[in-house]
A = this chain, B = another copy of it.
Amino acid sequence: MFARVALIGMGLIGSSMALAMRRAGLAGEIVGAARSAATRDTALRLRLADAMFAEAAEAARGADLVVLATPIGAFGAIAAEIGEVLEAGAIVTDVGSVKGMVLRDVAPHLPLNVHLVPGHPVAGTEHSGPEAGFAELFENRWCILTPPDDAEAAAVDKVAELWRRMGAKVEIMPAQHHDLVLAITSHVPHLIAYNIVGTASDLETVTQSEVIKFSAGGFRDFTRIAASDPTMWRDVFLNNKEAVLEMLGRFVEDLTALQRAIRWGEGETLFDLFTHTRAIRRSIVEAGQETAVADFGRRQPAQGE
């Protein structure tokens, strides 16, 4: 599909894309850029890329597809750097978890003869770095594209096809709507997971060792989410402020009502909410976005143990 793909950033998402593109034969050549020599070495050792560069511009030179796959806070500087070397007709896409900011930070640095098609694969794990990737990460997951109004249809189609061939399903929507949807399905969940883990580690009446020992009652599932990369998530909250604050406001409103129901012993209110939420779980399993298997019990010693 592409002669030379440049992956700027070779962490979980960059390395998974490299593996998925290789498996499906989507790129003639894959090159990458990463800040650290360690990441560049690892990427070469794992054969994620044919060549690795310290400078994004070196990787982007001559590429017909450039993928920004660093934390989003770095996008602006990288766009400024590669803007100068991009070939006419090249496509620039990204995998960032916030999309409005791409149009704001990246678009102004790109020449007019280059196509910008922002994207976000809604898939991930709590691990990061070049060794965390795997070719199947995007399978059966959604990738959301948020092309600007004046995007060329052929470029959008090509990026959509790339994701489909990596196993993903593609949805197109405005960047602003993406940021609202992800605020509630990803950003606020991460924020409250980080928050509860922080709260639990700061108590005087319950020791840290008790929190750890008795974490199997639910808490440990939040720690998995709260183990996600700090830089990536700082950047998400700094760059999707309005939508996150709006959804957080709704969350807190609802929590206040729940708090009151507990205080006044309103069992029926609690029961009704707890019943309603089960149905959503069922829909997610039916939509193939989750498995129905019991997971708290951690029955099978999973791979990697």
Interfacial residues, chain A to chain B (CB-CB below 8 A): 97, 122-127, 132, 134, 136-137, 141-142, 144, 171, 180-182, 184-203, 205-206, 208, 210-231, 233-234, 237-238, 241, 244-245, 247-248, 250-252, 254-255, 258-259, 262-263, 265, 267, 270-271, 273-278, 280-284, 287, 289-305
Q: With A205-B180, A293-B305 in contact, do A213 and B171 touch (Cβ < 8 Å)?
A: yes
User: B198 touching A125 by the CB < 8 A rule?
Assistant: no
Further pairs besides A230-B271, A234-B270: 20, Cβ < 8 Å = A123-B297, A124-B216, A134-B299, A137-B297, A184-B203, A185-B200, A185-B218, A189-B219, A194-B273, A196-B251, A198-B273, A201-B280, A213-B289, A215-B284, A227-B282, A234-B271, A237-B262, A238-B270, A252-B259, A292-B304
| A252 / chain B contacts, CB cutoff of 8 Å | 252, 255, 259
Q: With A198-B276, A291-B304 in contact, do A214 and B185 touch (Cβ < 8 Å)?
A: yes
User: B126 touching A296 by the CB < 8 A rule?
Assistant: yes
Q: With A213-B171, A294-B127, A297-B123 in contact, do A276 and B189 touch (Cβ < 8 Å)?
A: no
The secondary-structure label for the interface of chain A is helix
Q: With A196-B188, A230-B274 in contact, do A301 and B297 touch (Cβ < 8 Å)?
A: no
Task: State the CA gap A219–B190 with chains docked (Å).
Answer: 8
| A258 / chain B contacts, CB cutoff of 8 Å | 191, 194-195
| A195 / chain B contacts, CB cutoff of 8 Å | 251, 254-255, 258, 273
Task: State the CA gap A302–B302 with chains docked (Å).
Answer: 10
| A186 / chain B contacts, CB cutoff of 8 Å | 214, 217-219
The one of B199, B227, B278, B283 in contact with A251, judged by C-beta atoms closer than 8 angstroms, is: B199
User: A298 touching B290 by the CB < 8 A rule?
Assistant: yes
User: B289 touching A215 by the CB < 8 A rule?
Assistant: yes
Q: With A195-B251, A198-B273 in contact, do A190 and B218 touch (Cβ < 8 Å)?
A: yes
For residue A39, give the distance in angstroms from its CB to the closest CB of chain B.
Answer: 18
User: B296 touching A304 by the CB < 8 A rule?
Assistant: no
| A275 / chain B contacts, CB cutoff of 8 Å | 230
For residue A236, give the distance in angstroms from its CB to the closest CB of chain B.
Answer: 9
Task: State the CA gap A185–B203 with chains docked (Å).
Answer: 12
| A202 / chain B contacts, CB cutoff of 8 Å | 250, 254
User: A231 touching B123 by the CB < 8 A rule?
Assistant: no
User: B300 touching A212 by the CB < 8 A rule?
Assistant: no
